[in-house]
Chains A and B, each alone.
Chain A
């Protein structure tokens, strides 16, 4: 495993009496793209704002590149770049001036470096224009340029694909992958879109209601999520069906209601079971094949997002 550049331990935060972040811990390694997945209001932005120094930390510890944020704020922060929510710049100044001003606050940001990142995000033609004349997508690009200007070890992006067209999203994905896999930057991306994460991230943490539900490599999450195919047997006698199946197929029963019973079985087993049920006097009105999508998995993991008030 490569080195840990962002370490969050036992992080908690309350607004008033409401606990927004509840004892979160995770680690992000150099050279990986780490997804931070959760429905709206789960606490993604709050966590990011705590890491970036917008919000005070009630409990817990944030360590960036081995430096405790509380103990040496400036040094820890100099290893961090990012965008929170929308990229906000000084609208009356040009993109160039904005980058120069930001670069001035870091050590070792040269004119050449500014030119380099501007070319990387493809903004060299419009860089002298005032920021207020930029589209949202252009602001995202300039925001990204600003975030990576000083070669941060950790790059934090909050919903970075907002306002980008499909081509822009693809371009962003390529830039981030290059940064992570070739330059060894730890990229931390938050999103509420699992499909996006699927294409971008190496590992994903899922957060809901301020609690961390788990951290998994993306491929494992995908297999977990799409791991089973369900067959739904529609019947009014699901209780009877359950007793019939209890003998050999007890483990396959995934779900049961008054109207149907769901089994996790192979396709080849369907006629066998159908026969067994019919012989036992259970009237089957139909059998449906149900495949869980990533979204379903996400909803089931996060409890369907019902908690969002």
Chain B
């Protein structure tokens, strides 16, 4: 152990004097800070945009245009009525006029109350409902009162009451009242089962809770609506044990694993809803921040891998070619200790650079976007949601990415020992790092089967599997060609990678132990 420590200290001294380490760390730091700065500039330019019209203004203009359009149509139809030759023709135009007048009334209201009828806000729903009720009522009104059926009478009075309600809601903007009315309607609907009623009412109440003033979605986005839909779908899946979440047209029963996934996903969304973590509107600032962090990490890890491959690829071969290995071999240490000390020093440098990357990224993020601005990560285990704060989450995320770095470092180290040629081992390992996943994609296109699980590249990149992003769709090159990538379970991949690293290490150690040094 004393010898190992001495060797380790020596290796650290050697690495610390290597110019490549200093250069790459410097590039990493400068790159991360500049990337953060660029994204900050991008964010500022989007939020302060003066040239472009934002969605809400655009919607307002659209409403005005539609109104003007319908007014023109109204004038046109009035002219047609006045110039109609037969009574029949006249009454037909009259009917059309009623329709157009309804539209004019609707859009006039929309313009007056600043409501986007194409949007997903609650007011646009109310207004649309109001228009529908009015149109129903007018249809019944066309029938003389004494010739109406009993149902029509009931419907008429219902329509009248609803119209009054909706108009009141529009006047006061009382979103809670709207939800109340909606839920009453659900209660009265005899086509629904009691479970289904409960489900729908819960969704409405959640909506009220997440967006108390009913402001979300007026600019046309459907973010909150789709989230609510997702929650309702998950609940319905669990209720009926049918997978409503899959994209296929044919509904399938939930598998036990699928049920677990749905439970976890539901728990995550409910947890987010509980803690005000659900976005109700499109937030470009936070998305740019996310992009900035993943960009900083991506660049940093890239530089880190380059540095590690250069160091590991030359670890033994460089000492062989310069002859400095002699002073190691002459010293009274067994070769496996030299092997392990070198490996340990490589891992130390890797961890050190990962820490540098983490600290620099977090400080850059803090300075540009605010230290308390990062989104925390919510995950669920056995249906119980848990929260990982932003800094912990990013730390864990970085170190899951570090697993890949270790695997590639081991490959370069093994090649360095076996080939005894620095250029070959650095070159081959960098080629594998960059070309491997692409080659794997093509292999997956050609071949099918369980054996693909045993391809190393299918087991690397654990981060998206350990920290899945439910909001992000995975669009890779594969989806263009229409194949589904082989995704082994995280546990399988973990064991696979451990075995891979141990095997490479064993081959390298055996070669280093037994081969002559000439």
Show the binding face of A for B, using Cβ within 8 Å. Answer: 49, 52-56, 73-78, 80-82, 84-86, 88-93, 97-98, 101-102, 104-106, 146
Contacts and interface: CB of A to CB of B under 8 A. Distances in A.
A88 B327 contact: yes
Contact of A77 (B322, B327, B332): B332
A54 B518 contact: yes
A49 B517 CA distance: 9
B10 A105 contact: yes
B311 to A, nearest CB: 14
B332 A75 contact: yes
B332 A105 contact: yes
Contact of B327 (A53, A75, A78, A102): A102
Contacts of A104: 6, 9-10
26 contacts: A49-B517, A49-B518, A52-B329, A54-B517, A55-B517, A56-B514, A74-B332, A74-B334, A75-B332, A78-B332, A80-B330, A82-B330, A84-B326, A88-B322, A88-B325, A89-B324, A89-B327, A91-B324, A98-B327, A101-B327, A102-B327, A104-B6, A105-B331, A105-B333, A106-B331, A106-B332
A88 B7 contact: no
B13 A88 contact: no
Contact of B331 (A77, A89, A92, A98): A77
A93 B330 contact: no
Contacts of B329: 52-54
Contacts of A102: 327, 331
B323 interface: yes
Contacts of B13: 93, 97, 101
Secondary structure dominating the interface of B:
helix
Interface in B370-390: none
A259 B130 CA distance: 136
B17 interface: yes
Contact of A93 (B9, B17, B325, B514): B17
Contacts of B330: 52-53, 77, 80-82, 84
Nearest to B18: A92
B171 interface: no
A54 B324 contact: no
Given A49-B517, A53-B329, A102-B327, 16 more contacts: A55-B516, A56-B516, A77-B330, A77-B333, A80-B330, A84-B330, A86-B323, A88-B323, A88-B327, A92-B18, A93-B13, A93-B14, A101-B327, A105-B6, A105-B10, A106-B332
Nearest to B517: A54
Given A55-B517, A81-B330, A102-B331, A91 B3 contact: no
Interface residues of B, number: 25
Nearest to A86: B323
A74 B14 CA distance: 23
Given A55-B516, A82-B330, A88 B6 contact: no
Contacts of A105: 3, 6-7, 10, 331-333
A46 B424 CA distance: 28
B340 to A, nearest CB: 14
Contacts of A97: 13
A88 B326 contact: yes
Q: Which of B18, B323, B331 has most chain A Cβ within 10 Å?
A: B331
Nearest to A81: B330
B95 to A, nearest CB: 94
A293 B331 CA distance: 41
Q: Which of A78, A82, A86, A102 has most chain B Cβ within 10 Å?
A: A102
A109 B324 CA distance: 20
A55 B516 CA distance: 5
B15 to A, nearest CB: 11
Contacts of A49: 516-518
A92 B13 CA distance: 11
A74 B322 contact: no
Nearest to A143: B327
Given A55-B517, A97-B13, A104-B10, A90 B324 contact: yes
Interface string B398-421: 000000000000000000000000
A55 B330 CA distance: 11
Contacts of B323: 85-86, 88
A85 B326 CA distance: 10
Nearest to A146: B327
A82 B331 CA distance: 10
Nearest to B10: A101
Contacts of B7: 105
Contacts of A81: 330
B517 A74 contact: no
